[in-house]
Homo-oligomer: A and B are copies of this chain.
Amino acid sequence: MQNDSLFIKALKGENVERPPVWMMRQAGRYLPEYIALRNKYDFFTRVQTPELACEITIQPVDHIGVDAAILFSDILVIPLAMGVEVQFIEHKGPILPKTITTQKDVDGLIIEENAIATLEYVSKAIKLIKTELNNRVPLIGFAGAPFTILCYLVEGKGSKNFDTAKQFCFTQPKLAHQLLNKITDVTIAYLQAQVKSGADAVQIFDSWSGLLGPKEFNEFSLPYLNRVADSLSQIVPVILFPKGSWYALEELSKSTASAIGIDWCIAPKVARATTQNKKTLQGNFDPCRLLLPVPQIQKEVKEMIDAFGKNKYIANLGHGILPNIPVENAKAFVDAVKNYKST
C-alpha cells in the first residue's frame, strides 16, 4: 500500500521529485506532546503499552510532518526478551545489573520463539499504528544490531568506549560469536514479526560499531548485519546504520540492504563515491546544527540535498535529535526538505 510513498520509492531507487525526510528520535524528548506522556508514564510503560507507543509514534507525523513514522520502542527490548533485566532510569540511560560474560550466561539466554513471544506488545502497537496512520506515511520498524546489543549485554550500561564489551570480543571471540548468533536469531525473528504486523521497512541501528577498527568490524559486526539484512530484504527494504563505521561503506554497499545511514563526518560526495551509487543513502545533518537560525537551516538543507542528489536519498539527521532543539527548528528542517527544488 505504501509503494507510492516517497520513502519507499527512495528506498527502491526510483526517481522522486524531492527526497523523503524523517528524523532519528523524531518521536521523543524535544516534543512537548511526548514530554507530557513521559511525565505520566515510566519508560517501559510507554514502550509496552500499544496505545501509548502508537500515540508517541504518530506525534511527529501530526506535529512535524515527517514522511515516515518510526515505531516508538527501544533496542533493549531484545535483551529483555532474552531474559536479561534492563532498568531505565530517566535522563540516566539503561542499566543491566546482571551482565552476560560467561558460557553459562550465554547458555541461559532465552532464544527464538520463547523470546519473541514476550514481544507481542510490539506487534500489537504496530497494528494499531498502521490503522491510525491509515496509509498517510509508511512505518519503519527497527532493532539494534547484534554487535550493539552485545555491547550492552556485556558492559551492563552505556559507555563512552565500551572497552569491557570490546575486550570480551577480543579475548573470548568464540563465546562472542555464540552470543552474537543468538542475538541475531532473535533479532531476525523479531523484525520478521514487525513486518508481519505491518512495518513497511526496517532500520538496524549499530550505534557502537564505530568503536571497532575495520578488521574487527568485519569480524564482529558485518556478518551479523548481513545475516539480518539477508533475512529481511526479500520481504521489506532494509536500512543499515552502523554509526561511525565510515571505513565499512564500500563493504556495506555489497549487502542486500536497500539503504545505508551515515553520520555528518562523511561528506556526501565521499559516501556516493565509496558506495558507487549502488545504495540509497540516509542522513546526515548534524543534530547540533538544528539550533542555527531557520534561514541557515534552510540554506544548509538545500546544500545537503544538492550534494547527495535528490534520488536514492533520504534526508535525515546523522544521529538522534537533541532534547533542546526547538520544535519550530525541527519543523523548519523537515519543511526545507519538502520545499526542495533542484536548480
Contact = CB atoms under 8 A, between A and B. Distances in A.
Interface in A298-327: 318, 322
Contact of A288 (B167, B244, B264, B288): B167
A163 interface: yes
A contact patch SS = helix
A23 to B, nearest CB: 16
A291 B171 contact: yes
Interface residues of A, number: 27
Interface string A155-184: 000001001001100110000000000000
A266 B292 CA distance: 32
Contacts of A213: 264-265, 267, 286, 318
Interface string A278-299: 0000000011110110000000
A246 interface: yes
A219 interface: no
B214 A170 contact: no
A262 to B, nearest CB: 11
A165 B286 CA distance: 13
Nearest to A288: B166
B322 A265 contact: no
Nearest to A215: B267
A105 interface: no
Nearest to A319: B161
Nearest to A322: B163
Contacts of A171: 291-292
